[in-house]
């Protein structure tokens, strides 16, 4: 029986572990992959305070991990399959865990476009991670789908490798921040195909083209390319919690300002919870609050 189990070692979970460790809670942090989460899909982060010019995401995460380990918090590699919210017991691939409180920091995964060819060509030209796959597209022509901060950051990154970077977005206006839009405008390799949808990804052994529908004219045409990077938002990693605590219709966990969920002693932080801004900085803030709330919950029950 531990004091606290934290599910997920992205920035939210690592910060929760940092605060829990400093409160001397007996804490286990469970992560199915390496610590970091989806921040590692970007090469650098430019809007984390204190690092003018940005910091490599790998370095930021390894510093967070080191800080947590220095406090004696155990990072356990395992995949959580089920959580009994009332009993605070977790069934994972390698066994079961029990605690007095649980923090869910399970994050989110990239949303799929759900068009013909996407599944078939994943790993053969279709990618959700420019940082991982950009070197394969040196001197090649790539398409990116989306209009948010992620597509903008990754377009700028990919332009260091690809010969041309073409952003296809379903509306006329991007939702990426102004500073990223300015950077893209200054990059001669980046161009835009707006008010358009990718309706199919085509190829033979690898991706060779995307079919694009112009939403203004209704016309469809093929656009030759070697790679397709999809950045159309994220879905919460909460399927294992369905029906166990309150969520919105998209599966984001509903939690209050103390990060408390609808179940006593279960807290949620970071990208898996419903909120208005999904950034590393407030994922960390969420994690700190969740750990503080868990500490108070455990202390109250011990009296
Ligand atoms: P996002 O901000 O939700 O943008 C998703 C984009 O994909 C939108 O432009 C949306 O179009 C488009 N889209 C959604 N579904 C689509 C579909 N089925 N077909 C075609 N297009 C579709 O997502 P994101 O850029 O992945 O970022 C996720 C979160 O992480 C955001 O909160 C973002 O701010 C944050 N983030 C921040 C940074 C940073 O600050 N440096 C970097 C990366 C990510 P519409 O515009 O028409 O809705």
- The helix (H) or strand (E) run that includes residue 257 is none
Q: Is the CB of 155 under 6 A from ligand 1?
A: no
The DSSP call for residue 44 is E
**Given the residues 82, 84, 132, 248, the one annotated as active site:** 132
CATH 3.50.50.60 is right for the domain spanning 2-109+234-300: yes
Q: Is the CB of 199 under 6 A from ligand 1?
A: no
Q: Is position 129 annotated as part of the catalytic site?
A: yes
Q: What is the pLDDT of residues 52-95, one digit of tens each?
A: 999 999 999 999 999 999 999 999 999 999 999 999 999 999 99
Question: Which residue of 232, 275, 283 sits with most ligand 1 atoms within 8 Å of its CB, as the best mutation to test the pocket?
Answer: 232
89: buried, middle or exposed (CB in 10 Å: 19+, 13-18, 0-12)?
A: middle
Q: Ligand 1: which residue has its CA nearest to atom 7?
A: 232
Q: What's the pLDDT score for residue 38?
A: 87
Residue 296: C-alpha distances to residues 46, 137, 157 (Å): 34, 50, 43
Specify the ligand 1 atom closest to the Cα of 278.
Answer: 32
What ranges do the domains of the chain cover? 2-109+234-300, 112-230
Distance from the Cα of residue 114 to its chain's centroid: 19
Specify the CATH number for 112-230; select among 3.40.228.10, 3.20.20.80, 3.50.50.60, 3.10.450.50: 3.50.50.60
Q: What is the distance in angstroms between the CA of the first residue and the CA of the last residue of the chain?
A: 18
Q: What is the pLDDT of residues 3-28, one digit of tens each?
A: 999 999 999 999 999 999 999 999 99
Q: What's the pLDDT score for residue 132?
A: 84
300: buried, middle or exposed (CB in 10 Å: 19+, 13-18, 0-12)?
A: exposed
Ligand 1 mean position, distance from CA 121 (Å): 22
Q: What three-state secondary structure class fits 29?
A: strand
247 contacts 255 by C-beta, under 8 angstroms:
no
180/70 Cα distance (integer angstroms): 36
247/62 Cα distance (integer angstroms): 31
Ligand 1 mean position, distance from CA 197 (Å): 15
Q: Ligand 1: which residue has its CA nearest to atom 4?
A: 148
Q: Ligand 1: which residue has its CA nearest to atom 37?
A: 149
Same fold, 2-109+234-300 and 112-230: yes
Question: Which residue of 128, 149, 183 sits with most ligand 1 atoms within 8 Å of its CB, as the best mutation to test the pocket?
Answer: 149
Q: Is the CB of 131 under 6 A from ligand 1?
A: no
Calculate mean pLDDT across residues 173-190.
Answer: 97
152: buried, middle or exposed (CB in 10 Å: 19+, 13-18, 0-12)?
A: buried
Q: Is the CB of 54 under 6 A from ligand 1?
A: no
Ligand 1 mean position, distance from CA 96 (Å): 36
Could you tell me how many residues make up the chain?
A: 303
pLDDT band at 303 (very low <50, low <70, confident <90, very high): confident
Q: Is the CB of 171 under 6 A from ligand 1?
A: yes
Ligand 1 mean position, distance from CA 231 (Å): 6
Q: What is the pLDDT of residues 245-271, one digit of tens each?
A: 999 999 999 999 999 999 999 999 999
Q: Is position 132 annotated as part of the catalytic site?
A: yes
């Amino acid at each position: 029986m531990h004091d606290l189990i934290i599910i997920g070692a992205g920035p939210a979970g690592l910060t929760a572990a940092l605060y829990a460790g400093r409160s001397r809670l007996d804490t286990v942090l469970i992560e199915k992959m390496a610590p970091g989460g989806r921040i590692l899909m970007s090469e650098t982060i430019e809007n984390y305070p204190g690092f003018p010019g940005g910091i490599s995401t790998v370095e930021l995460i390894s510093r967070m991990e080191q800080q947590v380990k220095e406090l004696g918090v155990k990072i356990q590699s395992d995949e959580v399959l089920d959580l009994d919210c009332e009993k605070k017991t977790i069934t994972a691939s390698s066994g079961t865990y029990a605690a007095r409180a649980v923090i869910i920091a399970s994050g989110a995964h990239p949303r799929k476009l759900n068009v013909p060819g996407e599944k078939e060509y994943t790993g053969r030209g279709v990618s959700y991670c420019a940082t991982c796959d950009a070197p394969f597209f040196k001197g090649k022509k790539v398409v990116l789908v989306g209009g948010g901060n992620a597509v903008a950051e990754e377009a700028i990154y990919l332009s260091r490798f690809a010969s041309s970077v073409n952003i296809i977005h379903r509306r006329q206006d991007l939702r990426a921040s102004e500073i990223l839009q300015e950077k893209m405008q200054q990059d001669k390799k980046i161009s835009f195909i707006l008010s358009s949808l990718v309706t199919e990804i085509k190829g033979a052994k690898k991706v060779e083209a995307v079919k694009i529908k112009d939403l203004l004219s209704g016309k469809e045409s093929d656009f030759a390319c070697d790679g397709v990077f999809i950045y159309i938002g994220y879905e919460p990693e909460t399927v294992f919690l369905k029906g166990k605590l309150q969520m919105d219709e998209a599966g984001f966990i509903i939690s209050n300002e103390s990060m408390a969920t609808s179940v006593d002693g279960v807290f949620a932080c970071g990208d898996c919870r419903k909120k208005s801004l999904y950034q590393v900085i407030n994922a960390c803030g969420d994690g700190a609050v969740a750990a503080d709330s868990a500490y108070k919950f455990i202390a109250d029950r011990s009296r």
